[in-house]
Structure 1
Amino acid sequence: MALTTDTKTRQRPVAGLVLAAGGGRRLGGRPKALLPHRGRTLLEHATTALRTAGCAPVHAVLGAGAAEVRAAPPDEVVLVDNPDWARGMGSSLRAGLNSLAGVDVSAVAVLLVDQPRIGAPAVARVLAAHRSGAELAAAVYGKHRGHPVLFARGHWPRITELATGDQGARAYLRAHAAELTLVECGDIAAPDDIDTPEDLALLEP
């Protein structure tokens, strides 16, 4: 049965969550959270995008390079350690949602740390879909679904149960495709990942 959220609930804050635990194996073991982009780290870029779009609070899940990130943490961000980060994105999503369990928010918007061409405008569009009634929303780029992804609070328990390996919420969203609002963001963002040394060309000094 579809979950519903009333107007008053949708006006509560929306949390932001950055999944930033990856170890950058194909980048020679360089933690993605610490890669430089436009004078700051990718983690700072992602958390700033969420805050600028209106998310509060913002949590970031750390794994590889956690000690280095904590040595110079981003502003206004709650850092969450995921000791199981090497098992894949699913464990980081679970850690992030669990860290928000006691926080009074109506939903969470999720970004991946390694997508520098996704900024505040794309996050704001997805948040607007939630304010208009969407329980589940995701940015799309042409025909391809991507991030940010938004989950209203009522969906968190089941997402947490299903998040395994590198799947994150993919299986849950597939099962609830009829409830998922797709938000076109291809005109304001691009979902390019920083996965290989060749991808480092996407980063700007």
Structure 2
Amino acid sequence: MTFSPASWTGILLAAGRGRRFDSQGVEDKLQQTLPDGHQVALTSAQHLSSVMEHVVVVVRPDNQALYQQFQRQLYEAVICPDADQGMAASLTCGLRHTACSKGWIIALADMPFVKSATIQALLRELEKGADIVVPVFKGQRGNPVGFSRKYLPELLTLSGDRGARGLLQQFPVLEVPVDDAGILQDIDLPTDLSAQ
């Protein structure tokens, strides 16, 4: 798949280890089933792909089961060899793979309750010229976050486990109000699977 400069891309970060969910590393939270019978990571991917023309999923090298699952569902999955260095490593891996895109909406695979309408609202603001967009529910910022390619150089210098949070404090951000508590809900513990 080619990513033309006219394309907006969705990057789904699915390379974390989820140690809070299972400290032994046996149960992968991204492959757990939600109350509706759908899998966590695939649900997040479906919401992103329902809006974005291109979607790339970033996985870690030792999670072949998840990698193959995404491929079976015809998603483009990219293996990040440095995934254990933190979220920023996964993000920059996805960005390098899609570097000629017009911009990105960066979503987290453990946030399956984000509504497609929220992703659509963020994309609409990027298309209208915003450079950084973040959804806001009842005064709280959440995920996913969108960037135009203007900030690609800054994004590619990120490191550690904070992702792009520092850029949201450093540069002007357009807050997009949404009626979506899902932007604040991630799957950290088994009880979160039925939290909505």
Taking the aligned partners of 2:126 and 2:165, their CA distance within structure 1 comes to 19
Contact 2:137 2:180 in 1 (8 A): no
Taking the aligned partners of 1:64 and 1:142, their CA distance within structure 2 comes to 38
Normalising by structure 1, we get a TM-score of 0.83
Contact 2:70 2:76 in 1 (8 A): no
Report the number of matched residues.
186
Shift in Å, 1:52:
0.9
Q: Any unmatched runs of 5+ in structure 1?
A: 1-8
1:60 aligns with 2:66: no
* Equivalent residue number for residue 159 of structure 2: 164
Taking the aligned partners of 2:74 and 2:146, their CA distance within structure 1 comes to 20
Q: Deviations over 1:14-38 (max 9, x none)?
A: 1001011111211212223212223
* Equivalent residue number for residue 32 of structure 1: 29
Structure 2 residue matching 1:73: 3-state secondary structure = helix
Normalising by structure 2, we get a TM-score of 0.86
Structure 2 residue matching 1:139: 3-state secondary structure = strand
| Counterpart AA for 1:14 | W
| Counterpart AA for 1:21 | A
* Equivalent residue number for residue 150 of structure 1: 146
Shift in Å, 1:64:
6.9
Taking the aligned partners of 1:141 and 1:188, their CA distance within structure 2 comes to 6
Taking the aligned partners of 1:39 and 1:65, their CA distance within structure 2 comes to 25
Taking the aligned partners of 1:189 and 1:65, their CA distance within structure 2 comes to 32
Q: Any unmatched runs of 5+ in structure 2?
A: none
CA RMSD after TM alignment: 1.9
1:45 aligns with 2:43: yes
1:78 aligns with 2:39: no
Taking the aligned partners of 2:44 and 2:14, their CA distance within structure 1 comes to 9
Contact 1:17 1:59 in 2 (8 A): yes
Contact 1:107 1:151 in 2 (8 A): yes
